[in-house]
Amino acid sequence: MFLMNKIYLIAIFTLLSSLFTSQSLAQYQVKSEYINNPELLIDYVNDCASFWERAHDDLYGGFFVEVGKTGNILNYNNKSLVSESRDAYGFARAFMLSGNTDYLDYSQSALQFMYDHLWDDQYGGWYRRSNRLGGSPYTGKKTAFDQHYALLGIMAYYEATNSSADKQMLDSGYDFIEDKFWDNNLDTFGYFDEVNRDGSSAVNKSFNATVDAITTHLYNLYLITNDVKYKDRLLELENNIQNYFIPSMADQEIGFAEVYNSNWITNTSEKRTIMGHVLKTGWCMARIYRINEDQNTLNAAKSFVQNVLDKGYDHKYGGPYKDYDRTNGEMYMYGAQDTAKAWWQMEQAVTAGFLLYEIALQDKYLKMADESLDFFMKYFVDTVNGEIYADRNRRGGKVPGWDENKGSEWKAAYHSIETAYYAYLYSKLLIKKETATLYYKFDIASEERILNMNPLAIDFDKLKIDKVLLDGSDYVNYNSDDRTIRIPSGIGGVFAVSYKLTSSPYGIGENNMKLANIYPNPSAGEVNIEFELPKTTYVDISVYNIMGQKVEILTNGILNAGHNIIKWTNNKSNGMHYIVILIDGKRSVSKVLIN
């Protein structure tokens, strides 16, 4: 009878947990048609790409910078580093979403113009701008903002193609930043804000020098390469944010201090705080949380986003406002008679909202992403001329007195397409529970390659490769759990990689393999995991909670052959847990109830 009661309780607990989880995910009803039907985002991206194709310089390569409302070129005389890189990024992502390889040609055109004309062969690093032909480059100071954003387009193109030539340019740009901009002082480490052309006289620290390094290249480079040097730098930047941005918030009416001297002392003369920067910092901290699993990192991410939700967000019409005086909380109007919203700041609300919802499962984050995307697609998108406006008023109309041009040194194909890229992935995987497909063009190489496929920040233990096609035919040489594709020498083409998000780590509930005897189960708190090893081998045993979050690593290394017992003592939380065991390439998943 006691055993039957236990079995009955386990069944009831599992059912209630399932119902609770389903209900908690269903409380907020998404209203954006682009979340409910993510394929619409691909159509939108194709429209954006079509608009920017008209800004391509077919004679000298690259893209024109100043573009009017209808796509008309306003200035034929200059090219901009940041604009070229952002166009390269947008077209690379457009290819990854659509599979249209023509977009890669446009991306490469922008990058080739950068390589040929905007790289400083004498001192290294990138020039800010040049004339149309690539001559008369700007030879003044080099900023961290420019150097970081130069890598944005190269990084995306490299992710889409694994091109070794572009990786070399990526490495050259990264090495210049590390050599000339990084402050190695243990007390003041971080990226300087600017240097002379030759890399001397590095000064100041800032939001742009810090956070833009994460979002332009560092985070995605770590996902693509698994190189620990990128992770180490990410964690140091996370430390900067924790030590300087977070503490500064206590002294502000809104946001945080964005500009500092070389010793991280706040520049009191610069009072502006930008809601998009606050949200972007929250998004980046949430991304870092997905690789360090540090609760302090997650708490910081939430605090940034909450600051905007409390003080700089439009809860009636949706989306964040623009800029404020951080010291008194007053909005900067820039001569406008109505409050305004900016295109790129809307994106930060979408991406931060989706990721924090994925992590915390709190409706307010999904609501922010949904409202902001809905406003963005309804009012920022120019359904007549294509692409998006830079600014809209609170209700979505034109800001009186402001132009509606589409391209500038700061606005290109980047944010309009990236918004759709991440909204598509999170909507498909997280909200719709469907597979999401991305395209890659990996040319034939002389050596075998094993490529990491990590397209976004998410619970990496749940993200799997579901299917791979090579030029339209099934391709089976991949590892679903590790998200790697093995490409032998002499093989290449367009790979369509479909990703899925399992409901629990390693497809829990789908694996009946038994590698160990786990007892007692149910348990009052102490569990034995007993198994025999025929040989000395690698063993990984981890514990997950019912939400699929890893809560403890019991062993991760080489164990000797013979009889082994691993003990797990749980003093933290009752309820259902999963014990995931990996032995010599074989995996088992077992449920354990803690009373």
Asked if 489 and 532 sit in the same domain, the reply is no
Q: Is 540 helix (H, G, I), strand (E, B) or coil?
A: strand
Q: From residue 235, how far is each of 145, 210, 461, 538 by CA, in Å?
A: 19, 11, 20, 28
Token pair belonging to 393:
């008023």
User: What DSSP line would sit under 190-202, residue for residue?
Assistant: EE-SEE-TTS-S-
- Across the range 145-160, mean pLDDT stands at 99
Cα 517 to Cα 260: distance, rounded to the nearest angstrom:
57
Which residue do the tokens 């590790």 mark? 482
| Pair of tokens at residue 208 | 């742009």
The more confidently predicted of residues 292 and 19 is: 292
Sign of the CA dihedral running 422, 427, 430, 433? negative
CATH code for the domain of 536: 2.60.40.3080
CA atoms within 13 A on the CB side of 432: 20
Residues 569-591: pLDDT tens digits? 987 777 788 898 988 767 888 88
- The reported pLDDT for the residue numbered 512 is 57
| Token pair of 447 as six digits | 């050596």
For residues 432 and 476, what is the distance between their CA atoms, to the nearest angstrom?
26
Q: How many domains does the chain have?
A: 3
Pairing verdict, β 575-583 and 562-569: unpaired
The mean pLDDT value for 347-370 works out to 98
Does 52 fall in a domain?
A: no
CA distance 326 to 332: 10
Residue 383 inside a domain? The answer is no
**pLDDT of 8 above 60:** no
Dump pLDDT digits (tens) for 205-239.
Answer: 999 999 999 999 999 999 999 999 999 999 999 99
Residue 300 has pLDDT above 90, yes or no: yes
pLDDT tens across 89-137, in order? 999 999 999 999 999 999 999 999 999 999 999 999 999 999 999 999 9
Residue 429: its pLDDT value, please? 98
Is the bond preceding residue 488 a cis peptide, omega within 30 degrees? no
pLDDT of residue 27: 72
Percent of the chain predicted with pLDDT > 90: 84
Stretch 327-349: mean pLDDT:
95
Q: Are 463 and 524 within one domain?
A: no
Better-predicted residue by pLDDT, 515 or 483: 483
C-alpha to C-alpha distance for 94 and 426, rounded to whole angstroms: 16
Residues 498 and 528 in one domain: no
Phi, psi (5° rounding) for residue 23?
Answer: -70, -40
**Average model confidence (pLDDT) for the chain?**
93
Q: What is the C-alpha separation between 286 and 307, in angstroms, rounded?
A: 15
Q: Is residue 19's pLDDT more than 60? A: no
Strands 190-191 and 182-183: antiparallel
pLDDT at residue 508 in the model: 47
Contact 84, 61 (CB under 8 A): no
Residue 548 has pLDDT above 70, yes or no: no
For residue 577, being part of any structural domain is answered with: yes
User: Are 521 and 585 members of one domain?
Assistant: yes
Is pLDDT of 7 > 60?
Answer: no
C-alpha angle with apex 393: 391 to 395, nearest 5 degrees?
A: 130
105 located within any domain: no
Q: Is residue 453 part of a domain?
A: yes
Contact (Cβ atoms closer than 8 angstroms) between residue 492 and residue 446:
no
Residues in the chain: 595
List the helix and strand counts (H, then E) for the chain. 16, 26
Residue 481's domain comprises 436-502
Q: Where are the beta strands (DSSP E) in 159-204?
A: 182-183, 190-191, 194-195
Do both 458 and 517 map to the same domain?
no
E strands, 45-92, in order: 78-80
**59, part of any domain:** no
Q: How is residue 228 written in tokens?
A: 């620990």
Q: What integer pLDDT is reported at residue 23 of this predicted model? A: 38
In tens, the pLDDT along 231-270 reads 999 999 999 999 999 999 999 999 999 999 999 999 999 9
Buried b (16+ CB within 10 A) or exposed e, 466-493: ebbbbeeeebeebebeebbbebeeebbb
Residue 173 has pLDDT above 90, yes or no: yes
Residues 6 or more apart whose CB falls under 8 angstroms from that of 2 comprise none
Tell which wins on pLDDT, 558 or 486: 486
User: What is the reported pLDDT for 505?
Assistant: 54
Distance CA 588, CA 264 (A): 49
Q: Are residues 518 and 498 part of one domain?
A: no
pLDDT of 18 above 60: no
Instruction: Give the pLDDT confidence score for residue 99 in this predicted structure.
Output: 99
In angstroms and rounded to an integer, the radius of gyration of the C-alpha atoms of the chain is 25
- Can you give the pTM of this predicted structure? 0.83
| 456 and 517 together in one domain | no
3-state secondary structure 574-593: CEEEEEEEEECCEEEEEEEE
Residues 479 and 549 in one domain: no
Question: Both 577 and 550 in a single domain?
Answer: yes
Identify whether 586 is part of a domain.
yes
User: Prior bond to 534 cis, omega within 30?
Assistant: no
CA pair distance 37, 432, nearest whole angstrom? 9
Q: Determine the average pLDDT of the residues in 129-154.
A: 98
- Least confident span in 195-204, 434-443, 471-480, 538-547: 538-547
Q: Return d(Cα 210, Cα 258) in angstroms, integer.
A: 10
Inside any domain, residue 49: no
Report the candidate in 137, 30, 7 with the shortest Cα–Cα distance to residue 372. Answer: 30
Residues 484 and 457 in one domain: yes
- Out of 483, 502, 521, a domain closes at 502
Q: Are strands 484-487 and 478-479 parallel, antiparallel or unpaired?
A: antiparallel
Regarding whether 529 and 488 lie in a shared domain, the answer is: no
Predicted confidence (pLDDT) per residue in 383-396, tens digit? 999 999 999 999 99
* Same structural domain, 519 and 586: yes
